[in-house]
Structure 1
């Protein structure tokens, strides 16, 4: 069945979900905590990649703004015009990546192993030409393609052989009855001899060109053959085949290539995808943009693509799996010209930034008008460069899939690697509304702190709380800088993985939350911590509690800098506290700049909670209620 990208972007209601839900192992909407939808898998919590070390989601421009309204691949002259515009207008602010997008069926020119060599057969120049062109301007090319695909041109030429397997024709890796788009692209059958070599060779084909990021789309269609709007669209390949192909891509991409997963079903709260991709799409396509796409539409959860429809609910719903060293949340593209006001533009970029989503411009030089300013605020851009991955305020440990009151979509918080806080307040309503945050109650800070308005680029003075009357669809984005004590990193905005989760219900605890389950082997809480301008030996202090008087051990690991290097590991004994909050200290070595610090459970007989950690040698507040 031929299905166009245009058809896929339709918004008709879901069809025939019953069979699909059974196939995906759909979770019940029962009153289970987050742990019930965050089951650990027998793999690391995340890819061992450069993206995970730096946390940077990416500052990019994509061709989507031409592709969608024209329902066509971008012509080469239009491509060149836009590249030069991005280089001129956005590269000075740190935008460093140009992204191709779908509408790829017309790319049928392939090499001797069946791999495409250009974005479009009508283009004069191939990928290496444009990679070199961009490199000359300090930029990179991200390519949209699925290594599971085989072109019709490769199927028709039996002289095209699998890389490293001259005995196998690429044509023999697929079948007439398994098209992605009829007469243009077909799916690989992963169970055929040579399939692994073909798929991994495709990834290596792009890596050899110097491509830093591969965007792999239509994963749900491959796994289940089903679409939320169209029903059955093609053959179901099944979860075993899907897992096999994700593993092959992950392995071939290695430590230096970013793997962007698009349209994944994310069954069992993403148990496969979270450790095999650097980012995954968490909402419907951007389509034509506008407020309705950002905040409107379907508000409820589904156990298949797309779980949540808009970025506000998608970023909120997946916020328990993001954080330092963990998979990034991709809310799709940004179309500044599609919004009705500058307030909406600030809200969109502010939400994407605080949640750690890529800032991917899809306006073109001909459509952006006077809206480019929203992408060029250096203080907002600095948050993405630091790897900020914040969270909405959590009210309890329930899954957002069944309790939408468990998290506040309109109040977000996060910490930078220097320990300063970022606060985002949003008004999703159609009338002006007040939004507020109390620094003691919501951040655990009792001292007055310095507050800066990042959009206005203006200091607001020292405060203990903040309140703003926000216009319709308006927002505020603040930087909160503590002034006293050692630098404190709060577990409520850390990364939770492999069984570690948020909680705030332990009897006698009066703070706003903590990470728990560190009694489980390998349960991990991760923090992005700066080593300052020099690095060196630092004392890290954990504030923790155990449920009994028995001691528990944890590992404190440090992975330093942006390079994918070794990890130092320190064992720390946590004496039993009988439910009281106490501290334990360990000396570690940090490098200059960003370090990924993890607290990892070794195994204990009673629950272990982690409140926060402090690092000597920098500012931090007094702590409220702890």
Structure 2
């Protein structure tokens, strides 16, 4: 049974110490932990290994809800984090009524609840394969059905490199391989891991082992058959080099095994039509493997307490080597903007907790930044006991329900900052073009005092004047060749430009 977030959050203080004061420059060199060619199974797959960067099959960032806040607050309070059938249905009914009409068509689990395999959860299914069958005491097949009944999809927090079943479990699709063959074996792996004398907090699949490819393929087939087409895969830095997880145990399987894992994951996910979201990646060598193989990757530390700290304040201006590269959303989106764009890997700024912001200006800026950067909007505010926690969820939802802003997501819009220098005010001005030729410009103020932001349309290569529409005021604001505004602290203005 895995309760990974519990372990991680228990070590948050150490995590910040270890990662917060690392080198502020990324390495440009590869640090492969090279294995001999004979160590790998023969590659005969012809499916596209790079679904996330194929411009003809563009993946659009998802709009969804997460149980993160519900679990995280209970983690801090040391109380029960499970959701029973009644609570799940209450949540799904709420989402279907309030957010589904705006495009939020998925709810995703997270790692705080128990995750385990039980062959008795679905005795008529011969292809359970040792994969997770229950989450927080609720059967996944039931949860998927409850979502489907309401027009929602189920996203699952799991990892195709995690083993949930006992060693004797047979690997589906092989002749005799078991889970014992998949994980670390001191006799054959000792010289090929970085820290052979350490243990592993997770029972990792070693991708180069016989049967590993079949196990990974079966993982995505299993979830596809379950009606799940979104997988959120966590703790990849721990697998790669045993770093970035607050001192959690790990042997570090090296760069080659990490690349092979992402390759197999990408191939099988594409084969079964599953969207891949990778969490806690080191993003070494300018995200060489992440941007090649993954649909979406986290580019910022966990939401934790949320608020402006997560959006802009936490360790502001720092870019670190390894996970997390950046600790707040603005820094992460700006720093990684050079690898994003239509048909490329989607940057994930983690969850939004609307109730944790100090004011509406911050809420607008948070939502606007995600959409301007082409990232997902993942609402984590929970409807189960919002009133007991003294926030008015209905009044907050309007910031997630702005159809004019959400049109950017539907368009597959991905913007860029005027500068990727984190210290430059121009990094707080974002722009991009929609498929119909309209431009969208977002002006932000990360500072604690009012600031002037100005951009001439000629800076974007636009000649003449354009008609302007404020996407938060929902009104046309005239025609001009320049946008100039004084923004309140933590405020923003988003303008859509069209031909006169």
**TM-score strictly above 0.5:** yes
**Equivalent runs, 1:116-515 vs 2, <5 Å:** 116-120=132-136, 122-123=137-138, 126-151=139-164, 153-155=165-167, 158=168, 160-175=169-184, 180-181=200-201, 185-227=202-244, 230-231=246-247, 233-254=249-270, 256-298=273-315, 299-365=317-383, 366-367=385-386, 369=392, 370-394=395-419, 400=420, 404=422, 408-440=426-458, 442-483=459-500
The 3-state SS of whatever aligns with 1:264 is coil
Worse-matched range after superposition: 212-221 or 132-141:
132-141
The offset of 1:130, in angstroms, is 2.4
Q: Note if contact 1:49-1:257 (Cα within 8 Å) is conserved in structure 2.
A: no
Q: C-alpha separation between the residues in 1 aligned to 2:425 and 2:214?
A: 44
The offset of 1:345, in angstroms, is 0.2
Q: C-alpha separation between the residues in 1 aligned to 2:305 and 2:173?
A: 43
1:61 equivalent to 2:65? Answer: yes
Q: Note if contact 2:51-2:57 (Cα within 8 Å) is conserved in structure 1.
A: no
The offset of 1:209, in angstroms, is 1.6
The offset of 1:472, in angstroms, is 1.0
Q: C-alpha separation between the residues in 2 aligned to 1:371 and 1:105?
A: 30
Q: CA RMSD in A?
A: 2.8
TM-score by length of 1: 0.67
Deviations 1:382-402 (A, max 9, x none): 1111111100013xxxxx5xx
The offset of 1:87, in angstroms, is 0.7
> Cα–Cα, structure 1 residues 386 and 269, in superposed 2: closer, same or farther, change >3 Å?
same
Q: Note if contact 2:52-2:59 (Cα within 8 Å) is conserved in structure 1.
A: no
Deviations 1:64-91 (A, max 9, x none): 0111111264312332221111111111
Q: C-alpha separation between the residues in 1 aligned to 2:200 and 2:55?
A: 30
The 3-state SS of whatever aligns with 1:472 is coil
The offset of 1:109, in angstroms, is 2.4
Q: C-alpha separation between the residues in 1 aligned to 2:318 and 2:52?
A: 33
Greater helix percent: which structure? 2
Aligned to 2:35: none
The number of aligned residues is 447
The 3-state SS of whatever aligns with 1:163 is coil
The 3-state SS of whatever aligns with 1:313 is helix
Deviations 1:115-137 (A, max 9, x none): 111223x22xx222222322232
Q: C-alpha separation between the residues in 2 aligned to 1:45 and 1:437?
A: 40
The offset of 1:233, in angstroms, is 3.0
Q: C-alpha separation between the residues in 2 aligned to 1:99 and 1:109?
A: 21
Taking CA–CA contacts closer than 8 Å with sequence separation of 6 or more, which of the two structures ends up with the larger relative contact order? 2
> Cα–Cα, structure 1 residues 262 and 48, in superposed 2: closer, same or farther, change >3 Å?
closer
The offset of 1:434, in angstroms, is 1.4
Q: C-alpha separation between the residues in 2 aligned to 1:56 and 1:172?
A: 37
The offset of 1:21, in angstroms, is 8.2
The unaligned stretches of length 5 or more in structure 1 are 27-42, 395-399, 484-626
The offset of 1:277, in angstroms, is 0.5
> Cα–Cα, structure 1 residues 104 and 168, in superposed 2: closer, same or farther, change >3 Å?
farther
Q: Note if contact 1:55-1:325 (Cα within 8 Å) is conserved in structure 2.
A: yes
Q: C-alpha separation between the residues in 2 aligned to 1:174 and 1:119?
A: 23
Q: C-alpha separation between the residues in 2 aligned to 1:132 and 1:51?
A: 33
The offset of 1:204, in angstroms, is 1.4
Deviations 1:241-298 (A, max 9, x none): 1111111111101162211111111111011111110010000001110111111122
Greater strand percent: which structure? 1
Q: C-alpha separation between the residues in 2 aligned to 1:203 and 1:197?
A: 10
Structure 1: 4+ residue segments shifted above 4 A = 15-18, 20-24, 43-46, 48-52, 175-180
Aligned match for 1:102, one of 87, 103, 111: 111
> Cα–Cα, structure 1 residues 87 and 374, in superposed 2: closer, same or farther, change >3 Å?
same
Q: C-alpha separation between the residues in 2 aligned to 1:24 and 1:84?
A: 50
The offset of 1:340, in angstroms, is 0.3
Deviations 1:562-610 (A, max 9, x none): xxxxxxxxxxxxxxxxxxxxxxxxxxxxxxxxxxxxxxxxxxxxxxxxx
Aligned to 1:511: none
The offset of 1:452, in angstroms, is 0.4
> Cα–Cα, structure 1 residues 189 and 55, in superposed 2: closer, same or farther, change >3 Å?
closer
Aligned to 1:571: none
The offset of 1:464, in angstroms, is 1.2
Q: Note if contact 1:51-1:258 (Cα within 8 Å) is conserved in structure 2.
A: no
Aligned to 1:75: 83
The offset of 1:408, in angstroms, is 2.8
The offset of 1:17, in angstroms, is 5.8
Q: Note if contact 1:63-1:74 (Cα within 8 Å) is conserved in structure 2.
A: no
TM-score by length of 2: 0.83
Q: C-alpha separation between the residues in 1 aligned to 2:208 and 2:57?
A: 34
1:92 equivalent to 2:101? Answer: yes
> Cα–Cα, structure 1 residues 146 and 178, in superposed 2: closer, same or farther, change >3 Å?
farther
Q: C-alpha separation between the residues in 2 aligned to 1:348 and 1:470?
A: 15
Deviations 1:137-161 (A, max 9, x none): 222111110010012x423xx2x20
Aligned to 1:489: none
